[in-house]
Structure 1
Amino acid sequence: MAQGEVEAFEELYARTVTRVYGVIRRVLLDRALSEDAAQDVYVQVWFNAYKYNPDAGSPMTWLLMIAHRRAVDRVRSEQRFIGRNLKYEMLSRFHEYDPVPALVDRLAAAEAIGRCLGSLTTLQYESPCLLRRTHLYRRGCRA
């Protein structure tokens, strides 16, 4: 198979896919992720068959080691993904309060009130003050 023999690869796949998938499924628990990881294992075996060393163990041992490592890599990848998402969510929820927009709004409102007050006649401007004084006078207070 190290020379890219398709029939040998097909036989290896047929004889080992159940065990490879089982090892991966026990680690990942998710069917779709397990299927993807198993496919990755066989792609890796196809391209790296020349790296197999018979002195290090049987072909099944080598294959199951690759499968287990691939599954663990997927778990770590998922954990990093979840960690990044949680960190982003926490940062986006609890951002520091920025007082500048509120101050800009208050200044704009004050300028608008100033423009409105500047356009009032003297009688219009003094009417609220007169009403206040009258109300206070009737209650027994002096302004």
Structure 2
Amino acid sequence: MTVAIGARSNDNINGRDSGQCRVFKYDDSRWVQLGQTLIGERAGDNFGYSVALSANGLMVIIGAIYNGVSPFRAGDARIFVYGGMEWIQIGGDVGGHAGGDLFGFSVAISSDGLTVAIGGTQVGTQDGTQDSGIARVYQLS
């Protein structure tokens, strides 16, 4: 059994409320952390707001709803694969398009880890409707 635990308000070397995520695997009689603690990129990111694991526990997607300097607080998600000793990011950050999108509010990953879904609650529409939200689906290639 493997679990991912996000702590969006964690303070670390990247600043207050940068956030973090840790992944643990149950090993016979105790929980053992897999790899390093994954942390937000800057203060206020809220990295770990949402987390999801693939079925085998070797891929994780982590949302950071306030990540983004430009556009400010667009939010994003990052995807990692466990390489046996450490977590390695796959591709770049998958970010929101406009300030305040809160992209990464929700995340999901398929059992095989090849498809992810990322939601943003404050995304507007092309016709000008505000805060209608969005879910985007991506396939890893």
Relative to its length, the structure with more helix (as a share) is: 1
Structure with higher Rg: it is 1
TM-score (norm. length: structure 2): 0.25
Higher RCO, Cα 8 Å, sep 6+ = 1
TM-score (norm. length: structure 1): 0.25
